[in-house]
Structure formats: structure tokens, C-alpha cells
Amino acid sequence: MRARKSKFLIVVFILIAIGIGSKYLIKQVFFPYKYKEYVDQYSKEYDLDPFFVLAVMKTESNFDKKARSNKEALGLMQITIETGEWAAEKMNLNDFSKERLFDEEYNIKMGCWYLSELRKMFNGNLELIIAGYNAGPGNVNKWLKDEELSENGMDLSYIPFKETKKYLDKVTTYYNVYKYLYDK
């Protein structure tokens, strides 16, 4: 009886250790809290959830500061040169250059500012913010005016760009995972 009980306790202990270890492994390998200093600083400055910023960054570049898309989006948050020039002007940054988009702090600051602007444009609607980050706010506004894509002009019932729909699903999933892993 005692031997069975101690074997049972050992098995329970091992399962708990595996559970704790796997969560640690998932956090370290698959969902790290990269660039914490800058993510926390600019999330706070632009009133964003840092887990949302991490989800966008993971989706955009998988935390590769040298990432470059086929559409010439650059850096951690994959900002295009056109968006970067526009954002730098609005942010009163006089030092914009293509190369600056590869600087972690600069890119995260600009990406957070842009997400904050999208939040204002779309009244905090997370789905629209995410779609706007991927497809551009002009496309999202056009979709909201199309009765086949938006029943009420405030939410999307259908996203015509498959890439944007996949992007929305991915960011939303990553956001939920980050909240689960790190939210205390």
C-alpha cells in the first residue's frame, strides 16, 4: 500500500514537473518576451497591451530585427518605407531613414505609435486594428463601407484578402497565448 502511494506521488510529481517545464520551454522557445524594455516602454507610452505588441511582432518578423518582406517591410514590426516616412513626420522624428527601421527601439516605437493610431481610427476594435496593420487602414475603411463585407459599417463580416484573414487569426491566437503565458 505504501509503495503504491509513493509511486503515485512520484508520478504526480513528475507530471507537475513536466507541466511546469513545458510551460517554461514554450515561453523561452516559442513565445519569448523579446525586447522587453522597448516593448514595455512604448506599449505604456502609446497605451497598448504589451502582449498585443508581442503578438504583432512575432507574426510580422518572429523577432528578427533584420527581417525584410517581399513588399519591403522592414524590421521587427515590418514597417514599409512609405509608412515609416509618414509616421516619422507625424511623430516629429527628423532622423528617419530606411536603415533606422532595422534599429529595435526605433522600429518598436514606430510600430507602437502606428498601432495606437489605428486604435484611434477604429475605435479600439481589435479586429480592425489588426486588419489595418496588415492591409492598410484605407482597405479596411473601404471594406467597412461595402455591405457584402460589413453588415453594420463597424465590424467586418468577411475579409476579402486571404492573407489578412490569416494574419488576423494568427495575431489573435498569439495574443491569447501571450496573455495566458505571461499575464499574472
Which active-site residues does the annotation give?
60
Exposure of 54 in the CB half-sphere (CA atoms within 13 A): 26
